[in-house]
Amino acid sequence: MRRFDLVIRSRLVVTPEGAGPASVAVSRGRIRAVCDYDTPLAAGRETDLGHVALLPGCVDVDVAVQAPGDSVAEAYARTTRTAAEGGVTTVVVAPAPARPAITTADALATHVRAAAGNSWTHVAFLGGVTPRSTPADLADLRAAGVTGFACSLSDGGAPDLAPLDDVRLRKAMAGLAAMGVPLVVHAEDAGELSKPSGSGNSALLAARPSRAERRGLERVIAAARVTGARVHVAPFVAAECAAMLAAARSIGVAVSAQTSPHYLCLPAEQVPDDDPAYRCRPPIRSDANRGALWSALLDGSGDIVGAIGSGHRPGTGIDAIRWTLPAMWTAARRRGLDLSALARWTAAGPSVTLGLSAKGRIAVGADADLVAFDPWSIQEVPHADPSPYAGRTLHGRVEATWVRGRVLPREAARRNLSPARHGGLLLPAAR
């Protein structure tokens, strides 16, 4: 009988074919077999989760790892550790805000070195496109290992990703189309934004109306149609623009979109005006928009919104990477949805968008990036938590996370461990 490194059994394993009892066999970091729950399998280690579900690890696209004042090394250690505790096994790093911004191959090398010795998860990188970027700059970044690129039409990556005008946007898209890599776009149009009249969340909402996203999406779709580039809008918030995305996809424009839990779970009417934990760009919108955004997510065709990312921006926006699964499950279960939908949004969808073929699914040949998630558990988010979920009751709890078949230490057990001593879990450019 073949002997595996690890076998994990669960009464609820979420695979591309559906959810049900199964056993997952792992060797050398990859899934080698998915069998019936009670299939005899020889292994060095075996874990039976019982009724705790086994999900594919989340792939979180466009994550800012650094808070202001953090060194790049400590930023990777903190953010990836928190991500892993929340069931994220691949972090796709935004080029900005970061120090240095990932706009050159030299800057990328700095991040790779820092991530390599400090990361608990796989890490992939997006290269930044600025008005000063040349075709040679983009080619160098791609050769150095970026998985895709990112740009902004306003201040989505301020101050390091200055807004692109239409000429530079199309030029960048043409180059990336030739490389066959996607462009992640913050699509609020700078011309439709105004300076907030105050410091509160309501002033931010008034200064960043949904028409800024509509105008930005018009520009993005027009450029993608001409160049043939693959474009991913992150984050997509203004639900009134859903029909634009669907129409673009229907005529062959390769545009996709992701949103974030806070846009789906937290209506503007319930946002404390003076609480910075809720402050993000685009801002959290109305309850009506939230409902329409759910309709776009549940469209079923995959033509509108097919992925969810945390939108993690510590120190400058939402800081909630560890709560994506519980927050989304809390909202999804109220709508009668199952864990297959949760895995599709947080794992399969993002991995397909970035061409990370070994990620985001429980299937033979895929990386053994796995999450034990208890959908029946209820937890209260600590009141001191920096996220907008502080003090809230959420359904679902991440019980364990495996990266390439290695279980990550939980909070109490990891105090004397570093990522390097734990086993070198980093893939500097997951591809």
Residue 420 lies in a domain: no
> Could you tell me if 171 and 306 lie in one domain?
yes
- β-pairing, 58-63 with 88-93? parallel
Identify the CATH number of the domain in which residue 322 sits.
3.20.20.140
> Could you tell me if 133 and 167 lie in one domain?
yes
> Could you tell me if 290 and 179 lie in one domain?
yes
**pLDDT tens, per residue, the chain with 431 residues:** 799 999 999 999 999 999 999 999 999 999 999 999 999 999 999 999 999 999 999 999 999 999 888 899 999 999 999 999 999 999 999 999 888 999 999 999 999 999 998 999 999 999 999 999 999 999 999 999 999 999 999 987 778 899 999 999 999 999 999 999 999 999 999 999 999 999 899 999 999 999 999 999 999 999 999 999 999 999 999 999 999 999 999 999 999 999 999 999 999 999 999 999 999 999 999 999 999 999 999 986 666 899 999 999 998 899 999 999 999 999 999 999 999 999 999 999 999 999 999 999 999 999 999 999 999 999 999 999 999 999 999 999 999 999 999 999 765 445 445 554 443 344 434 33
> Could you tell me if 181 and 259 lie in one domain?
yes
Residue 429 lies in a domain: no
Residue 423 lies in a domain: no
Orientation of helix 287-297 relative to helix 242-250, angle to 10°: 20
Name the residue with tokens 């299937």: 363
State residue 197 phi and psi, 5-degree precision.
-80, -5
Facing residues of 255 across strands? 231
Domain that holds residue 47: 3-54+366-411
Please tell me the distance from the alpha carbon of residue 243 to that of residue 255, in angstroms, as a whole number: 13
Residue 299 lies in a domain: yes
Residue 425 lies in a domain: no
